[in-house]
Chain A
Amino acid sequence: MTVASPTDFEPQGLQPQGWLKYFSFSLDHKVIGLQYLVTGFIFYFIGGALAGVIRTELASPISDFVSRETYNEVLTLHGTVMIFLWIVPVVNGAFGNYLIPFYVGARDMAFPRLNAVAFWLIPPAGILLIASYFVAGGAAQSGWTAYPPLSLSTPAIGQVIWILSVLLLGGSSIFGGINFIATILKLRRPGLKLMQLPMYCWAMLGTSILVVLSTPVLAGTLILLSFDIIAHTGFFNPALGGNVVVYQHLFWFYSHPAVYIMVLPAFGLVSEILPIHARKPLFGYTTMVYSILAIVVLGLVVWAHHMFTSGTPPWMRLFFTIATSFIAVPTGIKFFNWLATLWGGKLALNSAMLFSCGFIINFVFGGITGVALAQVPFDIHVHDTYFVVAHFHYIVYGGTVFVIFASVYHWYPKFTGRMLNEDLGRLHFLLTFIGFNLCFTPQHWLGLNGMPRRVAEYDPSFTTLNQVSSVGALLMAISTLPFLINVIWSAFAGELAGDNPWKALTPEWLTTSPPPVENWVGEAPLVTHPYDYGIPEGKIDLRVASGADLWFGGKR
């Protein structure tokens, strides 16, 4: 049976054309992808402004810039906005929607309407969340974890709005996950095998499995939490006989996999970018696939490493320490595969490549502190200190956000048909890389010396390093200026890109830039070896409908 494709339902004339289509309930996966991307960036700037408030407050040891309550609200909104409205929608929704149908050789996602619904849940949820700052009692103050009993004793209205917003965003995420799984497994072009898919497909398949398995648990938990707040049940309220540790287990059953939901797609994206700009095949395709699957399996059984100080019994500590340490193996395999991909390649040190290399460097730091944090004796020492803050920002900012920027530089020519300015891009990279490391490296020291996270005030002996960190944050804020100027200016006046400026072999480049409504005019290309760069012509094992011709400049 034919399932909805963009032109099936929308007679020409009813569906807005031109730029207006980005404000419509469009069913085109490319439009939805860009809707996710731009919406995500708007929330990135909001979340970044909130981070600016945090770092300004922390520039001095006393609470002088904002009140303690406001600090708690800002902290909660910063975490929630950055996770649920920026990183998850962008690395999953934006790039997933734009690229996955190309990669599987389809005209659209499996369920275009569900796709549009998933996107249009995000703006209301985001507006709801931000607006909760203005209700009586203000926004939620209990952090993005909303641990009871704290979340039961802070102002109720803001907390309930927070729950509602996260439920909407979780629903959006689940709908997206179902769509990706169905598209990758069911909509592959005839003749295209699973082990021939570009790596981002595997990353999104693994991510979507995690989304479908873990997000519903968070939804159920938050519903119970809202009962505790609204109906005064006692699920998580010790005063009424409830159990707070059960909340933590259920919360982290989602929220640890959420780390992989944020970083696995970034692994996939960087695996697409590196071979193209290093002009070499992706090293170790098969091991890459199996490490993604291993991370999915292990990622589901490590959650209690967030709870080593929650009265966790020794056997549980042992199990979760070992399971967590094991994750370093598949992650290490991927890390060395990227290095091997770069090794001996003809590297083009453009902005996309610089941000990808920045990702590799930052991510290995975040990964090493992650292994350290998995060890119970060390974790008890630094639990809830700035060491943890530094660790996860190295993963989600140094890791994922760097990849998002790399991906924007890499795919902008496909989105718009125009190149981004390389000088501004390199300046953006330099400022971001220095600013990021200046901001978060000192926080390792602060945490090791006992500075607790989530508190507006701190011991005056921590002042200097906190000020260094705040200067780093300022640099990161400044670094977005060349980026913003670049993307806006280049959209109108950037150098024309042509269809395939990177001479890439993956299917999204084997069509016009920007692509036509149904992705290809005529037959979808069958790309079975998407990474065969730099292989001598006689030994080429490449069966691309049009990609080989592009690569060899018509010499064959």
Chain B
Amino acid sequence: MTSLAPGSANPAGAPRSAIEADSTSQAHGAPAHGADDHGGHVDARLFGLATFLVADGMTFAGFFAAYLTFRAVNPLPADSSYELELILPTINTALLVISSFTFHRAGSNLRAGNQAACRSWLLGTVALGVAFLAGQMVEYFNLPFGLTDNLFASTFYALTGFHGLHVTLGVICILIVWWQARQGGRITQQDHFGLEAAELYWHFVDGIWVVLYGILYLL
């Protein structure tokens, strides 16, 4: 076990800049396991995940920028257009947005000590995620174009496919969390990093979809 010494003998020297920040005041994370209790590392895992999601978001940003530029600059062949059927994707959007709330309910139930309800809400979230993926499949099979038909078709499949991959990974993560949140599992009322990480990731995937829906379907 590592042991960092507690902050002893804070220097009396005058601060050199206004942007100084005290590390101990920034350290958040699981409250019961703060830096000073165990004398161990600060829990930086959620911070690390958030940093990773910034990186992941930049991948999407690159795709979005490419799509918008293609759309502004590259004319499509005469027999194709940027118009898409709207009903199914809109239902899908609603499913994902609702799933963010169900996941949040799962988290609050766990923190309130209601582990059984937490697991039910998790399963509900999984069901919504799977329904979204099924809806995506139905849409794919009913589209009038294939992957290589034109530039828009390729970009459409690349964007929705990359997002669908994220949703699939998210569903798998939630199932793992659901399994770990059983009685005697490693996720408990006190110690639930896995659930928080999966929730952060799921909200991220939902947020990306809302942007994607906006620029791909509505614009």
Q: Given A195-B17, A235-B151, A526-B8, does the pair A241, B76 have CB atoms closer than 8 Å?
A: yes
Contact check, B11 vs A182: say whether CB atoms are below 8 A apart. no
What chain A residues lie within 8 Å of B151 (beta carbons)?
234-235, 240-243
A441 at the interface (CB under 8 A from B): no
Contact check, B13 vs A178: say whether CB atoms are below 8 A apart. no
What chain B residues lie within 8 Å of A240 (beta carbons)?
148, 151
Contact check, A249 vs B59: say whether CB atoms are below 8 A apart. no
A243–B48 alpha-carbon span in the complex (Å): 35
Q: Closest chain A residue to B35 by CB distance?
A: A190
Per-residue 0/1 for A71-88: is the Cβ within 8 Å of any B Cβ (1 yes, 0 no)? 000000000000000000
Q: Which of A1, A249, A523 contacts B5 (CB 8 A)?
A: A523
A219–B62 alpha-carbon span in the complex (Å): 9
Contact check, B23 vs A235: say whether CB atoms are below 8 A apart. no
Q: Which of B13, B35, B62 contacts A221 (CB 8 A)?
A: B62
B10 at the interface (CB under 8 A from A): yes
Interface residue count for A (Cβ, 8 Å)?
Answer: 67
Q: Which of A187, A190, A212, A220 contacts B63 (CB 8 A)?
A: A220
Q: Name B144-191 residues within 8 Å CB distance of A.
A: 147-148, 150-151, 154-155, 158, 162, 191
What chain A residues lie within 8 Å of B21 (beta carbons)?
193-194
Contact check, B33 vs A1: say whether CB atoms are below 8 A apart. yes
A396 at the interface (CB under 8 A from B): no
What chain B residues lie within 8 Å of A196 (beta carbons)?
16, 20
Q: Given A227-B154, A234-B151, A526-B8, does the pair A194, B44 have CB atoms closer than 8 Å?
A: no
Contact check, B35 vs A216: say whether CB atoms are below 8 A apart. no
Contact check, A182 vs B7: say whether CB atoms are below 8 A apart. no
Q: Given A196-B16, A242-B74, does the pair A110, B11 have CB atoms closer than 8 Å?
A: no
Q: Name B8-62 residues within 8 Å CB distance of A.
A: 8-13, 15-17, 19-24, 26-27, 29-30, 33, 35, 38, 40-45, 47-48, 51-52, 54-62
Q: Closest chain A residue to B36 by CB distance?
A: A190
Q: Given A8-B1, A111-B48, A191-B10, does the pair A235, B55 have CB atoms closer than 8 Å?
A: no
How near does chain A come to B60, taking the closest CB pair, in angstroms? 8
What chain A residues lie within 8 Å of B47 (beta carbons)?
182, 185-186
Q: Which of B11, B45, B69 contacts A528 (CB 8 A)?
A: B11
Contact check, A181 vs B51: say whether CB atoms are below 8 A apart. yes
A529–B15 alpha-carbon span in the complex (Å): 11
What chain B residues lie within 8 Å of A216 (beta carbons)?
55-59, 62
Q: Given A3-B40, A106-B41, does the pair A191, B33 have CB atoms closer than 8 Å?
A: no
Contact check, A214 vs B58: say whether CB atoms are below 8 A apart. yes
Q: Which of B45, B54, B76, B155 contacts A3 (CB 8 A)?
A: B45
Q: Given A107-B4, A220-B63, does the pair A2, B23 have CB atoms closer than 8 Å?
A: no
Contact check, A286 vs B16: say whether CB atoms are below 8 A apart. yes
Q: Find the residue from A1, A221, A224 having the highest chain B CB count within 10 A.
A: A1
What chain B residues lie within 8 Å of A547 (beta carbons)?
none
A43–B66 alpha-carbon span in the complex (Å): 34
A174 at the interface (CB under 8 A from B): yes
Q: Closest chain A residue to B23 by CB distance?
A: A188
Q: Given A5-B2, A190-B7, A543-B11, does the pair A182, B44 have CB atoms closer than 8 Å?
A: yes
How near does chain B come to A498, taking the closest CB pair, in angstroms? 25
A7–B3 alpha-carbon span in the complex (Å): 12
Contact check, A186 vs B16: say whether CB atoms are below 8 A apart. no
Q: Name A156-194 residues within 8 Å CB distance of B.
A: 174, 177-179, 181-183, 185-194
How near does chain B come to A262, taking the closest CB pair, in angstroms? 19
Q: Which of B27, B58, B75, B76 contacts A186 (CB 8 A)?
A: B27
Q: Find the residue from B7, B30, B48 having the highest chain A CB count within 10 A.
A: B48
Q: Which of A181, A190, A220, A234 contacts B59 (CB 8 A)?
A: A220
B82 at the interface (CB under 8 A from A): no
What chain A residues lie within 8 Å of B41 (beta carbons)?
2-3, 5, 106-108, 110, 187
A119–B147 alpha-carbon span in the complex (Å): 36
How near does chain B come to A347, taking the closest CB pair, in angstroms? 26
Q: Closest chain A residue to B21 by CB distance?
A: A194
What chain B residues lie within 8 Å of A535 (beta carbons)?
none
Q: Closest chain B residue to A293 by CB distance?
A: B19
What chain A residues lie within 8 Å of B30 (beta carbons)?
1
How near does chain B come to A224, taking the closest CB pair, in angstroms? 6
A235–B152 alpha-carbon span in the complex (Å): 9
What chain A residues lie within 8 Å of B24 (beta carbons)?
190
* Interface size grouping (class) on chain B: 35 or more
A240–B191 alpha-carbon span in the complex (Å): 53
A448 at the interface (CB under 8 A from B): no
Contact check, B44 vs A241: say whether CB atoms are below 8 A apart. no
Per-residue 0/1 for A219-235: is the Cβ within 8 Å of any B Cβ (1 yes, 0 no)? 11100100100011111
How near does chain A come to B156, taking the closest CB pair, in angstroms? 11
Q: Which of B11, B59, B73, B155 contacts A191 (CB 8 A)?
A: B11
A217 at the interface (CB under 8 A from B): yes
Q: Which of A107, A193, A242 contacts B22 (CB 8 A)?
A: A193
Contact check, B15 vs A195: say whether CB atoms are below 8 A apart. yes
Q: Closest chain A residue to B20 by CB distance?
A: A193
Contact check, B10 vs A227: say whether CB atoms are below 8 A apart. no
What chain A residues lie within 8 Å of B16 (beta carbons)?
195-196, 285-286
B6 at the interface (CB under 8 A from A): yes
Q: Name B175-219 residues within 8 Å CB distance of A.
A: 191, 193
Q: Closest chain B residue to A217 by CB distance?
A: B62
What chain B residues lie within 8 Å of A7 (beta carbons)?
1-2
What chain B residues lie within 8 Å of A241 (beta carbons)?
74-77, 150-151
What chain A residues lie within 8 Å of B51 (beta carbons)?
177-178, 181-182, 212
A215 at the interface (CB under 8 A from B): yes
How near does chain A come to B163, taking the closest CB pair, in angstroms? 12
Complex A-B: 26 CB contacts under 8 Å: A1-B30, A1-B43, A2-B40, A5-B41, A7-B2, A105-B4, A108-B2, A108-B41, A114-B48, A178-B55, A189-B23, A191-B10, A196-B16, A213-B58, A216-B56, A217-B62, A224-B66, A227-B158, A233-B154, A233-B158, A242-B70, A242-B74, A250-B65, A286-B16, A286-B17, A524-B5
Q: Beyond A1-B43, A227-B158, A234-B151: 19 further Cβ-contacts under 8 Å?
A: A1-B38, A1-B40, A1-B193, A2-B38, A8-B2, A107-B2, A181-B51, A185-B47, A186-B23, A212-B55, A213-B58, A219-B59, A241-B74, A243-B69, A243-B151, A246-B73, A285-B16, A518-B2, A526-B7
Residues of chain A touching chain B, judged by Cβ–Cβ distance below 8 Å, are: 1-3, 5, 7-8, 105-108, 110-111, 114, 174, 177-179, 181-183, 185-196, 212-217, 219-221, 224, 227, 231-235, 240-243, 246, 249-250, 253, 285-286, 289, 518, 523-524, 526, 528-529, 541, 543
Q: 9 tightest A-B contacts by CB? A: A190-B7, A2-B40, A191-B7, A217-B62, A543-B11, A523-B5, A188-B23, A186-B44, A1-B33
